Amino acid sequence: MSNPFTNFQGKPATTPGVFSEFETRLANRNSGAILETMVHDITPTGTHYLLTHFDVPIIDEAAFELNLSGAFDAPYSLSLDDIRAMPSQTVPVTLECAGNGRARLEPRSFSMPWAYEAVGTSEWIGTPLAPLIARAQPRADVVDMSFTGADFGYDNGVGHRFGRALSPEQLADLNVMLVYGMNGTPLLPQHGAPLRLIVPGWYGMASVKWLTDIEALTAPYQGFQQVRTYRFRQDADDPGIPITKIRVKSLMVPPGIPDWLTRKRMTPPGPVEVRGRAWAGNTPIARVEFGVDGVWQDAECAPHVSAHAWCGWRCTWQAEPGWHTLQCRATDADGNVQPIDAPWDHSGFGNNAAHTVEIYVQAQNVAPST
């Protein structure tokens, strides 16, 4: 099918060097977390990262319907009031965008240029999905359940509504929720209001926002966001491996005070308490290490905020004068260790390389001045 975005030649597969205007405009739309708020177990709502491919759809809540259709014996629709009247649960879940860290690959994929900030933890308020699916009575030959959002746009010349699917086995394995609230308040438009999916433990693309349709399919789902992207690939022709669970990762709250432009840091010498977060999908974190110029020490980990959310960590660094490179890396209970160097990926997905912060330890007292 022909459209104005077919055969768009302006997008290189990967690119080195400076960021383009396209990338910086995407970065303005899709804000990232403010790392210093990671002192909180729950990310303040206004600083939860955003990733919206197309436009935020404006949805009339009174007219809203969630439709369950396809290979169900008892398909039906629900209003928002119906969904809000169902048993509600509030679950802290850490969400991370699969593209987090993309900007730090060289050459990088030409897309949303995340460095470290596409992660956050919210208390999602909603109802478990499984009973709603069971009530519709999926037929025995269902192989995929698709979840489609109200947002429509083009990517690589293909017009589509944002959609994803999960197999019956994946649905049985994951505590998927239908969500209408976040941190004690109604879901904000940019986070998927009035209704979204939350798929705990998986990268964010699975958590479809502005959800309006659930369809039971007897053939594998072929939606663009499932088949054409969100796959680990080595090059453009690689069929790739579907992206699922969030890889083990940690971040630190950058210590000291920043330089406006470079975000490099400065701190006086002596003991510095360094804090951060670590997560690995639904797998517990077994260990977090903090490194100074390549010398590592174990950090102390707090309990996970929930089975689906990050844990806090802290350690004391004896800061000595001069420039230093600070890093952190986590190990999960399955023995997966966060790498120091970024794992290459054609689309910049799944970069869980160690977080690196440059800091100068200054002996004399630096008084605030204007």
Residue numbers at the binding site for ligand MTE (CB under 6 A): 48-53, 95, 97, 149, 151, 162, 191-192, 204-205, 207-210
Cα–Cα distance between 119 and 243 in angstroms, integer?
16
Selection from Mo ion, ligand MTE, none that 210 binds (CB < 5 to 8 A by kind) is ligand MTE
The residue (of 153 and 168) whose beta carbon lies closer to ligand MTE is 153
Cα separation, 213 vs 67, in Å, equals 5
Between 174 and 243, whose beta carbon lies closer to Mo ion? Answer: 243
CB 207, min distance to ligand MTE, A: 5
Residue 252 · residue 325 · CB < 8 Å:
no
Reduce the DSSP state of residue 308 to 3 states and report it: coil
Q: Return the exposure string of 77-96: e unless at least 16 CB atoms fall within 10 Å of the residue's CB, then b.
A: ebebeebbeeeeebbbbbbb
Partner in contact with 53, chosen from Mo ion, ligand MTE, none, beta carbon below 5 to 8 Å by kind: ligand MTE
144 binds, among ligand MTE, Mo ion, none (CB under 5 to 8 A by kind): none
Q: Give contact residues for Mo ion (rule: CB under 5 A).
A: 51, 97, 204-205
- Least distance in angstroms from the C-beta of 95 to ligand MTE: 6
From CA 148, how far away is CA 161, in angstroms rounded? 7
* Residue sitting closest to Mo ion (CB): 97
Structure tokens at 143: 């192989």
Alpha carbon distance 370, 293 (integer Å): 33
Is 96 or 144 the residue whose CB approaches Mo ion more closely? 96
Q: Which is nearer to ligand MTE, 243 or 359 (CB)?
A: 243
**Which residue number, 58 or 140, has a Cβ lying nearer to ligand MTE?**
58
Smallest distance, Å, CB 34 to ligand MTE?
14
Q: Which residue, 159 or 322, has its beta carbon nearer to ligand MTE?
A: 159
Select the binding partner of residue 113 from Mo ion, ligand MTE, none (C-beta < 5 to 8 A, by kind).
none
Computed over its alpha carbons, how large is the radius of gyration of the chain?
22
**CB 278: neighbour CB atoms within 10 A?**
29
Asked if 160 and 221 count as a contact pair (C-beta separation under 8 A), the reply is: no
Which residues are CB-neighbours of 18 under 8 A, at least 6 positions away? none
CB 187 within 8 A of CB 211: no
CB of 259 to Mo ion, least distance (A): 29
